[in-house]
Structure 1
Amino acid sequence: MDVGTLHHRSVEYFADRINAVTDDQWDRPTPCAAWTVRDLANHVTAENLWAVPLMGGATIEEVGDRFSGDLLGADPIQAALDAARAAVTAVAEGLARGGTVHLSFGETPKEEYAAQLAADHLIHGWDLAAATGQDRRLDPQVVRGIADWFAAREELYRGAGAVTDRRALSGDPQRDLLARFGRDADWGPAHATLIRFNAAFGAADLETALALVTDDIVFEATSPAPDGQRWEGREAVRAAWAEVMGTPGMTFTEEESFVAGDRGVVRWRYAWAGSDPGHVRGTDVLRFRDGLVSEKLSYVKG
């Protein structure tokens, strides 16, 4: 498949997914943990807006900051679709003319730039599908084309921080492509809950954290030794977490997390201020039920 077709079909996949996002889904978390659905859509829209002047010969400096900030406005679907259509036209015309584009890391063949855009649309289209409950199936021909292109670039991308650690490969072309881009092909409600749950703890937002647990939540603290205190039920856990979150200068920082089936693991750092400041590092082992946290067992170093 030529790169122009690869780009066009990847953008179509993304556009179909963005067109199906409902009003109540824009704030949902995505497999890109730092981005909501709207954040992700804004990122891809910015890429598409940039593609038009870059394919036309403009430099980064000439474009400046015109595509910074919120680009979606009051009608995010229309804004994203308009940018996608303009980019498809610009890429097709640019490829026909040949030559290079001016990117931040130097002069780049237009074919390479188009392949980069195609990959981003395909993977982020899948991100949208996973986050909003849409069909996640990717076009096998497009998967093959992106996989062939990415094979020689994966480590370069990872070294530059453009993709996260590779997941385990399975032999399935779609799952393996997602794995190479650091995606968990089974990303689902538990993953979304974990992102929100960790963010709530980081913000000391007790009510949001409690909204993400089952009525019969079980929480085991890191102390006292050897087994830690145990609380059962939302209201009992409320009191325990209120004390944790109310510690002067409390900060909770997620270091790493993952989900496997109905279980999750979080590595974290908990710090406090006051007359005797300090920190501990530990791990939570979580259980999920019906998209909510039903068990949180905490362990600490030392």
Structure 2
Amino acid sequence: MMTSFKDPESLQTAEILARFNQVFLTHDPAALEDLVADDCVIENTQPASDGARHEGKAECIELRTKIATMPGAYFETEGIIARGDRGEIRWRLIWGPEHRDSVRSVNLMHVRNGRIVEALGYVKGG
């Protein structure tokens, strides 16, 4: 499920993305404090069409905490890829019993000095 190049930077990025992904799989945002950079920027998937922009560590942690702890929802990881300081996490968000109660998405990530500095979210639309 995880693919990365074997250079040290890609391996570090893969490790950071795997730890970040665990926040959503376990619904435990505690690790975000160590994973998110002070100057982090997130472009969320909503509202369409460009998504909301969140800047700074506190705002990014607040958003990710809300997503990770959404009642009745969970994530399934489809893949994590790391290339140098860039990576992607492909996932499905599920909030109900039917297939239509889910959405596939990808986060394009940028890591610097062991912390996430950028996360751009994209969702498949219909």
Output the TM-score relative to the length of structure 2. Answer: 0.84
> Could you tell me which of 271, 279, 301 is aligned with 2:102?
279
Quote the offset at 1:273 in angstroms.
Answer: 4.1
Could you tell me how far apart the structure 1 residues matched to 2:4 and 2:33 are?
Answer: 28
The 5-angstrom pairing of residues 1-302 of structure 1 reads 184-186=5-7, 187-273=10-96, 278-302=101-125
Quote the offset at 1:183 in angstroms.
Answer: 6.9
Quote the offset at 1:266 in angstroms.
Answer: 1.2
Quote the offset at 1:222 in angstroms.
Answer: 0.5
Amino acid at match of 1:272: W
Give identity over the alignment, percent. 36
Question: Structure 1, residues 191-235: CA drift from partner, whole Å, max 9, x if none?
Answer: 111111111221111121332111111111111111100111111
Question: Structure 1, residues 112-147: CA drift from partner, whole Å, max 9, x if none?
Answer: xxxxxxxxxxxxxxxxxxxxxxxxxxxxxxxxxxxx
Question: Structure 1, residues 213-258: CA drift from partner, whole Å, max 9, x if none?
Answer: 1111111111111110011111111221222123222211210111
Question: Structure 1, residues 236-294: CA drift from partner, whole Å, max 9, x if none?
Answer: 112212221232222112101111111101111111249xx821101100001012111
Q: Is contact 1:247–1:272 with CA below 8 Å preserved after alignment?
A: no
Amino acid at match of 1:262: D
CA separation of 1:183 and 1:285: change in aligned 2, threshold 3 A:
closer
Could you tell me how far apart the structure 2 residues matched to 1:183 and 1:249 are?
Answer: 32
Amino acid at match of 2:6: A
Could you tell me how far apart the structure 1 residues matched to 2:92 and 2:33 are?
Answer: 20
Could you tell me how far apart the structure 2 residues matched to 1:209 and 1:295 are?
Answer: 13
Give the 4+ runs in structure 1 shifted more than 3 A.
none
Match of 1:188, SS state, is helix
Question: How many pairs align?
Answer: 121
Question: Structure 1, residues 12-71: CA drift from partner, whole Å, max 9, x if none?
Answer: xxxxxxxxxxxxxxxxxxxx96xxxxxxxxxxxxxxxxxxxxxxxxxxxxxxxxxxxxxx
Amino acid at match of 2:80: S
Could you tell me how far apart the structure 1 residues matched to 2:121 and 2:73 are?
Answer: 17
Could you tell me how far apart the structure 2 residues matched to 1:213 and 1:183 are?
Answer: 21
Q: Is contact 1:201–1:209 with CA below 8 Å preserved after alignment?
A: no
RMSD: 2.2
Output the TM-score relative to the length of structure 1. Answer: 0.37
Match of 1:194, SS state, is helix
Larger Rg computed on CA atoms: 1
Higher helix proportion = 1
Unmatched 5+ residue regions in structure 2?
none
Q: Is contact 2:28–2:69 with CA below 8 Å preserved after alignment?
A: no
Q: Is contact 2:107–2:122 with CA below 8 Å preserved after alignment?
A: yes
